[in-house]
Amino acid sequence: MAWDFDTHLRTGKQATVLRVRDLTVRIQTAEALVLPVDRVSFDLEHGEALGLIGESGSGKTTVALSLLRLLPPGASVSGRVELAGEDLLASDPARVRRVRGRRIAMVFHDPLAALNPVLTIGTQIAEAVRAHQPLDRRQARAATLELLRSVGLADADAARYPHQLSGGMRQRALIAMALGCQPEILVADEPTSALDPVVQAGILALLRRVREERGLSLLLATHDLGVAAGLCGRIAVLYAGRIVECGETAAVLARPRHPYTLGLLQSLPPPLGSAGGLPLRPIAGQPRGARIAAPPLIMSPTRSDGCRFLGRCPRAREDCAKEEPELAEMDGGQVACFHPVEAP
Amino acid sequence: MNAPLLEVEDLCVDRGGLRVLDRVTFALHPGETLGVVGPSGSGKSTLARAVLRLLEPSAGRVRFRGRDLLALGEADLRPMRREMQIVLQDPATSLDPRMTVLSILAEPITVHRLARSEDVERRATELLRRVELGPEILHRHPHQLSGGQAQRVALARALAPSPALLIADEAFSAVDVSLQAQMANLLYGLRGSSSLACLFISHDLRFAAVLCERIAVLSRGAIVEIGEAATLVRSPRHEATRALVAAARASEVQGR
């Protein structure tokens, strides 16, 4: 190998690499103050994969972007995003630029929009590699080919342009670019939702492999519980900007306690080959603010509005309208609900 | 068994010197739902368009109620079109942003002269009820609808001329999980309540497996396997089918 991925921060013991506290994003629109993310807190442990689960408008993309301070200037972000004790939200922009890519890299859901159409894949990967490391052209070229191979692309693909690659290959190229900076943390926002299921399975296998090989910590934002189940040890379920349930993936999926998590599970098509199936039991109504032809936004709920899942919740009672439930410990996980689903 | 509603025989489509649809043959009976499943680029949408004659096939036959659609002129085709409707993947691009929901639904009713003008609004309300939407959205424009509502409006518009064949081309792959399940239930309900035949096109085998009696697997423009849904899913024979089954299993959630 031309260069070593494992030179830094490999202590072997579980440590928190990213600590997010009360992350809140405010956007003032012409009509209202909108909070796409509202007091979100979580820890990302070293080497773990954490899934942020949510539908349109849940705030998962906004969380991902705000970690890297990539939100547009109109958005005001508060709370803390601590990387090795340093609050990225309080750091100066030059400092954040050095962290972005180098220590936290991101993979977006639409690789065609994320890649530069007029540069070859090889040039773009080499650019990412050299942005954070003192390599000459020849070394960068070697590193680029190494990266291409590690994501399952061929050397010849370096000379190709994005439009000459399939959707799955583009996503692989994007992952290669993200890995080019040898980040500690990879943030992936719906990396497979634009792909068909067969190609998707390949990309998920790739993400699993690079994470294990490189000891990466992964934050995966997805609407697909199946994707999260295959990749993440823990999941946090977001609804309208708030985490409503959090815990070990296997436990949450086997015994969901929040009615929204249960509803998401019941919305999934039944396992292949099982008898019966339809009709499914989906959650009534729509995710708040999921709109056609515009970025999904959540109309700002305030604490006095009560639980934000109220309108769609089959378990709602009177007290749910009075105040908003906070996340509380429950069977090893956390749930924000006054009337959680009973454990079987 | 009654006569097939739709018979597709050796249908071929060529695009830019490439054969994108290769001798596709199948039959669809009234009330039946046939799934067409395959990866991106396998020719699913091309098949939908060729069946509706929105593009010209280079060879083969498409018979609807026994009449060869490819031999018909535009004037003879029009009344047949009333009976064949399509719902596309993205309601943001398939609904005219300048029209209200009422005018979107009224258009097929008036074009095909299916109701007197004073009855159009009542018919539109009835259509909305069939897709579980209330009359309060009649005067809204598409941008004032949620993604799920817009997709239901697209379905209601397709149902407006009481078609015999509905083609759902990835009709709910762009919406959220909870809305996908609502759409699946809607299609399931429609199927049970009429003799509507449905061509359900999807890259997701999981929904096809529960919605369809039979499934055809498309790969590189050709049907490589076709059969009863339960059998096909349980014992896939072709490599492409096995890949789809493996992908669907990989995205299943354990413990459910």
Structure tokens at A81: 């995003």
**SS3 call for A269:** coil
Taking 50 as the threshold, does the pLDDT of residue A11 lie above it?
Answer: no
pLDDT digits (tens, 9 = 90+) for A69-123: 999 888 999 999 999 889 999 999 999 988 888 899 999 888 888 899 999 999 9
The pLDDT-based confidence of A12 (bands split at 50, 70, 90) is: very low
Q: Is residue B108 part of a domain?
A: yes
Distance CA B249, CA B169 (A): 22
Of A201, A264, A271, the CB nearest to B177: A264
Cβ contact A291–B147 (<8 Å): yes
Taking 60 as the threshold, does the pLDDT of residue B251 lie above it?
Answer: yes
Which of A22-31, A158-167, A326-335, B238-247 has the weakest average pLDDT? A22-31
Of the residues A220, A292, A298, A313, the best mutation for testing chain B's interface (the one with the most B CB atoms within 10 Å of its CB) is A292
Structure tokens at A131: 């942005």
Which chain A residues are within 8 Å of B245, Cβ to Cβ?
272
Taking 90 as the threshold, does the pLDDT of residue B232 lie above it?
Answer: yes
Which of A15-19, A284-288, B191-195 has the weakest average pLDDT? A284-288
Q: Is residue B255 part of a domain?
A: no
Structure tokens at B76: 């003879």
Structure tokens at B211: 């919605």
The pLDDT-based confidence of A287 (bands split at 50, 70, 90) is: low
User: Does residue B99 sit at the A interface (CB-CB below 8 Å)?
Assistant: no
User: Does residue B243 sit at the A interface (CB-CB below 8 Å)?
Assistant: yes
Taking 50 as the threshold, does the pLDDT of residue A294 lie above it?
Answer: no
Instruction: Please name which of A67, A1, A68, A8 lies closest in space to residue A215, comparing C-alpha atoms.
Output: A8
- The answer to whether the beta carbons of residues B224 and B217 sit under 8 Å apart is yes
Taking 60 as the threshold, does the pLDDT of residue B163 lie above it?
Answer: yes
- The answer to whether the beta carbons of residues A34 and A26 sit under 8 Å apart is yes
What value does the mean pLDDT take over residues A21-42? 88
Give the distance from residue B233's alpha carbon to the nearest chain A alpha carbon, in angstroms: 6
Q: What is the pLDDT of residue A152?
A: 93
Q: What is the pLDDT of residue A293?
A: 33
Give the distance from residue A78's alpha carbon to the nearest chain B alpha carbon, in angstroms: 29
Of B92, B178, B209, the CB nearest to A272: B209
Q: What is the pLDDT of residue A228?
A: 92
ipTM at complex level:
0.82
Cβ contact B255–A254 (<8 Å): yes
Q: What is the pLDDT of residue A110?
A: 83
Q: Is residue B1 part of a domain?
A: no
Which chain B residues are within 8 Å of A265, Cβ to Cβ?
253, 256
Which residue's structure tokens are 């909070």? A35
Which chain B residues are within 8 Å of A55, Cβ to Cβ?
176-178
pLDDT digits (tens, 9 = 90+) for A240-283: 899 999 999 999 999 999 999 999 998 888 888 887 778 888 88
Of B41, B179, B247, the CB nearest to A197: B247
User: Does residue B190 sit at the A interface (CB-CB below 8 Å)?
Assistant: no
Of the residues B98, B251, B254, the best mutation for testing chain A's interface (the one with the most A CB atoms within 10 Å of its CB) is B251
pLDDT digits (tens, 9 = 90+) for B10-50: 999 999 899 999 999 999 999 999 999 999 889 999 999 99
pTM of the model as a whole: 0.86
Of A223, A226, A292, the CB nearest to B142: A292
The pLDDT-based confidence of B1 (bands split at 50, 70, 90) is: low
Q: What is the pLDDT of residue A291?
A: 38
pLDDT digits (tens, 9 = 90+) for A112-131: 888 999 999 999 999 999 98
Which chain B residues are within 8 Å of A196, Cβ to Cβ?
39-40, 203
Structure tokens at B24: 């596709």
A318 secondary structure, DSSP code: G
- Quote the number of domains for chain B: 1
Structure tokens at B43: 């020719």
Share of chain A above pLDDT 90, in %: 60
Q: What is the pLDDT of residue A108?
A: 86
User: Does residue B247 sit at the A interface (CB-CB below 8 Å)?
Assistant: yes
Structure tokens at A330: 């429950």
User: Does residue B133 sit at the A interface (CB-CB below 8 Å)?
Assistant: no
Cβ contact B39–A266 (<8 Å): no
In sequence order, what are the residues at sequence separation of 6 or more whose Cβ sits closer than 8 angstroms to the Cβ of residue A313? A259, A260, A307, A320
Is beta strand A217-222 parallel, antiparallel or unpaired with respect to A49-53?
parallel
- Residue B80 is part of a domain; what is its CATH number? 3.40.50.300
Break chain A into its structural domains and give their ranges. Answer: 16-103+183-270+278-335
Is beta strand A33-45 parallel, antiparallel or unpaired with respect to A86-87?
unpaired
Which residue's structure tokens are 């709370």? A79
Which chain A residues are within 8 Å of B253, Cβ to Cβ?
225-226, 229, 253, 265, 268
Per-chain mean pLDDT for chain A: 86
Which ranges of B52-176 would DSSP assign to H, the alpha helix? Answer: 74-81, 91-94, 101-111, 120-130, 147-159
Q: What is the pLDDT of residue A288?
A: 53
Q: What is the pLDDT of residue A246?
A: 97
Structure tokens at A188: 């992936």
Cβ contact A227–B243 (<8 Å): no
Domain range for residue B125?
6-250
Which fold, A16-103+183-270+278-335? Rossmann fold (3.40.50)
